[in-house]
Amino acid sequence: MSMRDRVDPATLEKRLQVLESQAKEAQRTIDELKARDSLKTQFLSNISHDLRTPLAAIITHAEILREGMLGELTTKQRDSVSGIVSGGQQLLDMIDEILTYVRSASDQVNLVRSEFNITEVVDQVRMLNQALAAKKHLTIERLNGDDLPLVSADRDKIKHVLANLIGNAIKFTNNGGRVWISFSRRGRDEEELLVEIGDTGRGIAREHYDLVFREFAQVDASPSRPHHL
Whether residue 94 is predicted with pLDDT greater than 50 in this model: the reply is yes
Q: What is the average pLDDT across 95-104? A: 73
Domain 11-110 CATH assignment equals 1.20.120.550: no
What is residue 182's three-state secondary structure? strand
Q: Are 102 and 41 in contact (CB under 8 A)?
A: yes
- % of residues, the chain, pLDDT over 90: 21
Cα–Cα distance between 45 and 51 in angstroms, integer? 10
* Residue 41 · residue 35 · CB < 8 Å: no
CB burial readout 215-227, b (16+ within 10 A) else e = eeeeeeeeeeeee
Lowest mean pLDDT among 14-23, 68-77, 89-98: 89-98
All structural domains of the chain with their residue ranges: 11-110, 112-229
Model confidence pLDDT, tens digit, residues 123-163: 988 888 887 888 889 999 999 989 899 999 999 889 888 98
Residue 174 · residue 228 · CB < 8 Å: yes
CATH architecture of the domain with residue range 112-229: 2-Layer Sandwich (3.30)
